[in-house]
Amino acid sequence: MFRLTIVYPSVAEAHFDFDYYAKSHMPMVTFLIGKSALRIEVAKGLLGYGGSPAPYAAVGHIYLKDLDGLQAAFQNHGSRIQADVLKYTNIAPVVNIEEMLP
């Protein structure tokens, strides 16, 4: 199993529409990925270690059974996905693709 992780660093003067991200953006990306996508998770950053400010405003995960759908979605719909980011935040996302270990 694989996981696409998207983190949005906490930055000054940032805005983030969690409702749009969770109910529109992530489901759209999952739809574009297709059958490879298994589930999504969305989290809002609250605190960092020891009560420090959260290092990330938001974190999204898409769990995948393989990378084929993800690669096709990025290749065929990457500009659409990137344009949609502007609808919910002004934070540049950091993307990481991971293989889940047993």
Task: Tell me the mean pLDDT in the region 4-15.
Answer: 96
List the CATH code of the domain at 2-99: 3.30.70.100
Residue 96: pLDDT band (50, 70, 90) is: very high
What pLDDT does 58 receive? 98
Q: Is the pTM higher than 0.75?
A: yes
How far, CA to CA in Å, does 100 sit from each of 8, 61, 64, 95?
21, 12, 10, 16
pLDDT bracket for residue 2 (50, 70, 90): very high
Q: Each residue of 32-70: pLDDT tens digit?
A: 999 999 999 999 999 999 999 999 999 999 999 999 999
**Domains in the chain: boundaries:** 2-99
